[in-house]
Amino acid sequence: MWTLLPARLRRLTVSVGALAALTILSGCQVKSGQADLVNGKQLFVQRCGACHVLGRAETKGNAGPNLDQAFQAALGDGFGRGTVRGVVQEQILYPSIGSQMPAKLVVGQDAEDVAAYVARVAAAPGEDTGALATAVGGEQKALAVARAGKLNIPADPNGQLLYTFRNAQAEPGQLQIDSPNEAPTPHNIALEGGGVNELGPVIQNGAVSSIDVNVNAGEYTFYCSVPGHRAGGMEGTLTVR
């Protein structure tokens, strides 16, 4: 069957073979054929967003292919989104040889949901609307403020490459920074600047990454040290004054 695919689709299949691991979630019911697009978006963001760019899902991972770019040429050549859906589902269940993604991490309806969502939005301009627009949170608050020498900067609970705060503020002295992570995507908290270079443990699924540092007045950068996460948006400024 593989050899019967057009050359463009063979290259396309290889380019999307690094889809990241997925977890099973429930979602509201927005249907496209037999697929639940809300569930598909939630699943994609939870696991794939840390590795792949997909504009409509607002994911910024750079460890795997940019899915908007991967499918843009094929769509421009006249391949329909139904074909894209089939390619994505095939890759989820049977990744290409050499892919880092284990096979069948999502099966059945969940695999159909993810494939349908990616096929619907890949290389599509604009933003998701309706129930899809609110399927996944990701808005950041402006400022986390330390209290009694403790600062709390959670990772985004939906698995986005974000902390829930863009920036933070603390007073000089000993400071404990905690970063709870409710998502299955691994993250940590790290701090650099002013002679400080401290990495917290990488954690997931409700654990907390913590560091204890002594900070002087000035500016520091907090970030996630998992490869690709900082570049994807997991960093902010800690101002000590």
pLDDT of residue 9: 53
Q: Which CATH superfamily is domain 2-132 in?
A: Cytochrome c-like domain (1.10.760.10)
**CA 241 to each of CA 109, 146, 228: distance values in angstroms, whole numbers, following the listed order:** 52, 11, 30
Q: What is the DSSP string of 54-82?
A: EGGGTEE--SS--HHHHHHHHHHTT--HH
141-240 CATH, one of 3.90.1150.10, 1.20.1250.20, 1.10.10.10, 2.60.40.420: 2.60.40.420
> Which of 124-161 are b and which e, b meaning 16 or more Cβ less than 10 Å from the residue's Cβ?
beeebeeebeebbebeeeeebebeeeebbbbbbbbbbb
Please check the confidence at residue 58 and state whether its pLDDT lies above 70: yes
Residue 171: CB atoms within 10 Å: 14
Burial 97-122 (b: 16+ CB within 10 A, else e): eebebeeebbeeebbbbbbbbbbbbb
Identity of the highest mean pLDDT range in 105-109, 142-146, 155-159: 142-146
Which residues, including other chains, have CB under 8 Å from residue 78's CB and lie 6 or more apart? none
pTM exceeding the 0.85 threshold for the entire prediction? no
pLDDT at residue 97 tops 90: no
Calculate mean pLDDT across residues 33-56: 88
Which amino acid, 129? T
Q: Domain residues of the chain, as ranges?
A: 2-132, 141-240
pLDDT exceeds 60 at position 194? yes
